[in-house]
Copies of this chain bind each other. A is one copy, B any other.
Amino acid sequence: MLSNIRIVLVQTFHPGNIGQAARAMKTMGLTDLVLVNPRCFPDDEATRLAAGAEDLVQRARVVDSLAAAVNDCVQVVGASARLRSLSLPFHDEPDAMARELVANAETDPVALVFGRERFGLTNDELRHCSQQVSIPANPEYGVLNLSQAVQVLAYEVFRAWRHRPESGFVPQRPPHDRPPTREQLDHFHAHLQRVMQASGFLTQPHARTEEQLQALFARAQPSRKELSLLRGLLSALEPKDTRDD
């Protein structure tokens, strides 16, 4: 359940990052934001950059320790730009982390913890985590902006959630045009062949060429309307004395 997934930001320096993180969260269905000792909060910058997610910013809980932020959680994942050599279990694939987090979130609160813009999380804060995760990135320039890191991990969490059958998430799809029947396709192939021969492009039936063109059109997956359109074009291209139907 997405509402069980908490985003915890520790000692965020720029209030603007809080606002952008809130926006990132909301686009991915997350609503529970907790701030541990933010440097500057509440702040107009946080509200301004939340751009439609001000409700998350206003409802954000402010606490003075990471323990207070996550004590009720059954899983706490610390996001780190560099995996520390602690014995803390790590995920180097955010999607695997997200699947585990979402599974636990079915029944209990869980948390994703992000550290300071410059310094990340301290080793002591990582001890409040059950695992760490890092976002695989360019080895030469791999530190994402804080709110961008929130966006990427929130995106993976939302993805793990919507892939679960019980989520009921309906992907947006453009309206579906009906595909043609095999018979309609056969008529089209026959029409295409007639036009290729009548135009002199083929002097006799040529299986290979016809096959290639049929495959091309098959890949295009024409709808009924589009097939109609193609038939109309073929008719217009057909030399007048060979027109059939």
Contacts and interface: CB of A to CB of B under 8 A. Distances in A.
A87 interface: yes
A197 interface: no
Contact of A152 (B92, B151, B170, B171): B151
A53 interface: yes
Q: Size band of the A side of the interface?
A: 35 or more
A86 interface: yes
A162 B136 contact: yes
A151 B86 CA distance: 29
A162 B92 CA distance: 12
A171 to B, nearest CB: 5
A145 B53 CA distance: 12
Given A136-B162, A147-B148, A151-B152, A172 B83 contact: yes
A175 B86 CA distance: 9
A116 to B, nearest CB: 15
Interface string A205-233: 00000000000000000010010000000
Interface stretch (A24-32, A60-68, A101-109): A24-32
A179 B236 CA distance: 75
A172 B27 contact: no
A128 B32 CA distance: 40
Interface string A125-137: 0000000001111
B92 A141 contact: no
A83 to B, nearest CB: 5
Interface string A53-97: 100000000000000000000000000001111110010100000
13 contacts: A27-B143, A51-B145, A83-B172, A84-B174, A85-B175, A90-B173, A90-B174, A144-B151, A147-B148, A148-B151, A151-B151, A152-B152, A152-B155
Interface of A: 20, 23-24, 26-29, 51-53, 82-87, 90, 92, 134-139, 141-145, 147-148, 151-152, 155, 158-159, 162, 169-175, 177, 223, 226
